[in-house]
Chains A and B, each alone.
Chain A
Amino acid sequence: MSAADVPAGDTALGIAAAVRSGTRSAVEVVEEHLTAIAARDGELNAFNLVTADQARQAALAIDERVAAGEDPGPLAGVPVALKDNLCTRGVPTTCSSRILEGWRPPYDATVVERLVAAGAVVVGKTNLDEFAMGSSTENSAFGPTRNPHDPSRVPGGSSGGSAAAVAAGFAPVSLGSDTGGSIRQPAALCGVVGVKPTYGAVSRYGLVAFASSLDQVGPFARTVADAAAVLEVIGGHDPRDSTSIPRPAPSLVAELEAGVQGLRVGLVTELCEGEGIEPGVAARVDDAAAALEAAGATVDKVSVPAAVHGLSAYYLIAPAEASSNLARYDGVRYGLRVDAPTTGEMYDRTRTEGFGAEVKRRIMLGTYALSAGYYEAFYGKAQKVRTLIIRDFEAAYEQFDVLLSPTSPTTAFPLGAKTADPLAMYMNDVCTVPSSLAGHPAISVPFGTDESGLPVGVQVMAPALGEPVMFRVAAALEAAAPGRG
């Protein structure tokens, strides 16, 4: 399904308009989506938890407010699915890990508060690679999520549940988190829109931390306009996140019609012609560039030389930060405790039984990269490479307004294809990690399919706080995408 094929009444903006005007009830909308979930989530496993009763109550409250002449907000009655690493007060938040099974957070993440305040209706918590570490949603303690386009294939990851939920029509929009590509890559593999905002543009308060200098929350949607509408609601300064940029959320939906006339688009050589890019993916990126040119943009190749080192730097920095962040899971304050005669043994047994293999791998990789004697060689060097990547992007953005690349080197691969080879799995992130390391925004837009009919995503990157121009280009790509009816 191409984003542009979505009937207007099924989009978040279409639903909100109908609910606000009283022509459609929020209760009816939520029941339709709960029915879709009941019919197919047994097969796909997109959700760790469906909060059907709370969703019905929330929808009823929205309808009562409309009946009373109130406006419940810009996302009135819009069903939304939340990645299960976003804290929801009183509702289990597991990170798809045994170590947090059964934990009910005592507070809501800021993004959850803002969605609910805008009238959105939470329908459930979605599956992920444990603690957001993975690119296929196979590293989940609750079993893998499957791709709605072909259930024998992965949905991508780590936000695979949120991507699959939107692609399957379980919710028009969802939230994920992106540390090195965990929103964009599953969006590409599931044929939906996925946005990683500028670092600091969206509050991380209540997002369970993986790698704090990289983590960002962002939306999935079937249309670019819906993704823009959700980002307008969740974005903007939050005093509870000290890394939150002190400015309001930008206006995005109003930008979408501005077109791309005169914009300069750079095709990043290192990410378009790199090793492992499937021909069917590369061909769609070329088509996308041609479509932007036809719409009035100028397109040229550009080199971002340090981008080739992005994967190496990322897989030292992110595990290093993770090893520190995940030290908090010790069986003392929340989640799993495996009893033992002493506190030290309790720590060991709790962490050994509570974490899955990939989380252990990353914790050990990070602990090693930070350990005495290796810090300079690994972590220190990776931080310097990060500087080089930022400099190279700055040079590229002197010549170009946005940059273009594949989102993922491949389309959706079969379940189990890469689980025995962590390095092969990490290669999925080669096109997405450079902008993560730079803290820049990027969006994946569905743009046709490969020769097997599997969705391809094109990535549009922009400089820090460049979301408005990034969304203009995304809207132009969506309008030109193959399959538009």
Chain B
Amino acid sequence: MARMAHITRDDVAHVARLARLQLTDEELDTFTDQLARVLDHARDVEALDLADVPPTSHPYPLRNVMRPDEVRPSLDRDEVLAAAPAAEDGQFRVPPVLGEAP
């Protein structure tokens, strides 16, 4: 059974990168301390014997929900693009994805 490890400052820096958040050194210290305390509290579940217990991902027994394949109006493209930070030629415009700006 996997054991709960103690979260480190490096772990917090790693998950911040994965979540695309930039943290200052001070924030790293604060968040590491706070997350460690929350995860320590969650250790009560570690003592439980859960080997034969199935997981619940959803409280309501769901199967694939199908609907008739009918053409119907969707959101108006111009209205959606009007809410975007930048749009061009009917598409969302973003800065260069690779390398430096031209």
Spell out A's residues near B (CB within 8 Å): 103-107, 199-200, 213, 239, 242-243, 245, 308-309, 311-313, 315-316, 323, 327, 330-337, 339-349, 351-352, 355, 360-361, 363-365, 367-368, 371, 373-374, 376-378, 380-388, 390, 422-423, 426, 437-440, 464
A106 contacts B35, CB within 8 Å?
A: no
A348 contacts B35, CB within 8 Å?
A: no
Distance of A194 Cα from B98 Cα, bound (Å): 50
Taken residue by residue from 59 to 91, chain B's Cβ proximity to chain A (1 for < 8 Å, 0 otherwise) reads as: 110100101000000011001100111100000
Task: Point out the residues of chain B lying under 8 angstroms from A388, CB to CB.
Answer: 48, 50, 53
Which of B54, B79, B95 touches A341 (beta carbons < 8 Å)?
B95
Nearest neighbor of A331 in chain B, beta-carbon distance? B85
B15 contacts A367, CB within 8 Å?
A: yes
Interface size of B in residues (CB-CB distance below 8 Å): 59
Q: Is the CB of B25 closer than 8 A to any CB of chain A?
A: no
A315 contacts B42, CB within 8 Å?
A: yes
Spell out B's residues near A (CB within 8 Å): 1-5, 7, 11-12, 14-16, 18-23, 31, 34-35, 37-39, 41-46, 48, 50, 53-60, 62, 65, 67, 75-76, 79-80, 83-86, 92, 94-101
B84 contacts A351, CB within 8 Å?
A: no
Task: Point out the residues of chain A lying under 8 angstroms from B101, CB to CB.
Answer: 341-342
Known interface pairs A361-B35, A378-B4, A384-B50. Does A332 touch B94 (Cβ–Cβ under 8 Å)? yes
B3 contacts A377, CB within 8 Å?
A: yes
Nearest neighbor of A339 in chain B, beta-carbon distance? B95
Task: Point out the residues of chain B lying under 8 angstroms from A346, CB to CB.
Answer: 94-95
Number of A-B contacts (CB under 8 A): 182
B22 contacts A348, CB within 8 Å?
A: yes
Distance of A363 Cα from B17 Cα, bound (Å): 11
Distance of A200 Cα from B2 Cα, bound (Å): 33
Task: Point out the residues of chain B lying under 8 angstroms from A387, CB to CB.
Answer: 53-56
